[in-house]
Structure 1
Amino acid sequence: MREFRLEQLEAERIANDGAYLRFIRERNMSVGLYALDAGQPDPQRPQRQDVVFFVVSGRGSLTVGEETTMVARGSVVFVPAGVPRKFHHITEDLRVMVIFSPPEG
């Protein structure tokens, strides 16, 4: 078993000076913490993996393909492999748990 605390993951992400911190990589999945501050653009490109976003904190919009939804703490969104997606109109700093299957490179 491995246990993680959001505060520790956030501190490690900041220490590594990046918007994304992968903290689990296994044979069938990987998990990371993605951070976008209010007003910041999202540089994501479509991935080859299926992705689940779980919003830990913050508020904004997410466009997946042609559909847009508001996201906030507790939102869970599935994005099929290859489909474009972008967070935007971020009004509160977003912290998003990202689950890839299969694991991202």
Structure 2
Amino acid sequence: MRNLTGQFRALVVAATIGFAPLAHAADTAIPATPEAGSFKIGIEPWLGYGQWHVAEAKGLFKASGLSDVQIVNFTEDKDINAALASGQLDAANIATHTA
């Protein structure tokens, strides 16, 4: 068991070091302020996506400089996936098995 723990730690360290340049590049590409315009995010009725409604109700989007976030509700995977693929949404909270 001890050897597996050491191997796991080595794997985590190697993965972290390997992804460090990518993380730094991503940090420099993120703008300091959000772009102007609306942002549409699609969600489905699941308790785990409730944080989007909480954020909207508490004004957290506006407090972060996002003045027009629109939450679009869907009931079926096929509909949210089609909307995302066709460009009708900017983002979607979807399960990994449907992504």
TM-score range, shorter chain: under 0.3
Which has the larger strand fraction? 1
Which has the larger helix fraction? 2
Normalised to the residue count of structure 2, the TM-score between the two structures is 0.25
